[in-house]
Amino acid sequence: MPTFIALLNWTDQGVRNYKDTAKRAEAFGAAVQKLGAELVDIYWTVGAYDLVAVVEAPDDETATAALLQLGGVGNVRTSTLRAFDREEMEGIIAKAAG
């Protein structure tokens, strides 16, 4: 399944409710699963982003739906990256090389 890296920053609401962040992460994992995707892992970070989530989804649309649901709750804003594993990258290189 394609992998997506979501870089998250807390909103003012999210910071006010920081004590619930682990429970919110668990709820996000359950919501993602209902869409047919998987929350592979989530990390709380220090620096430019407050959290980093790794999500596997069958397609871009499913990943986007999951992250829209997450953002719609109002606790975080997301920036999402499509990530390619080694095998996928080798296929991309082969395609580019002709």
- pLDDT digits over 15-70, tens only? 999 999 999 999 999 999 999 999 999 999 999 999 999 999 999 999 999 999 99
Token readout for 10 is 């807390």
Which residue ranges form the domains of the chain, and what is each CATH number? 3-97 (3.30.70.920)
Angle between helices 21-34 and 60-72 (to 10 degrees): 140
Q: Are 42 and 51 in contact (CB under 8 A)?
A: yes
Determine which helix (DSSP H) or strand (DSSP E) holds 23, and give its type and residue range: helix 21-34
Longest CA pairwise span in the chain (Å): 53
Helix (H, G, I), strand (E, B) or coil at 96: helix
Q: What is the pTM (predicted TM-score) of this model?
A: 0.92
DSSP 8-state class, residue 59: S
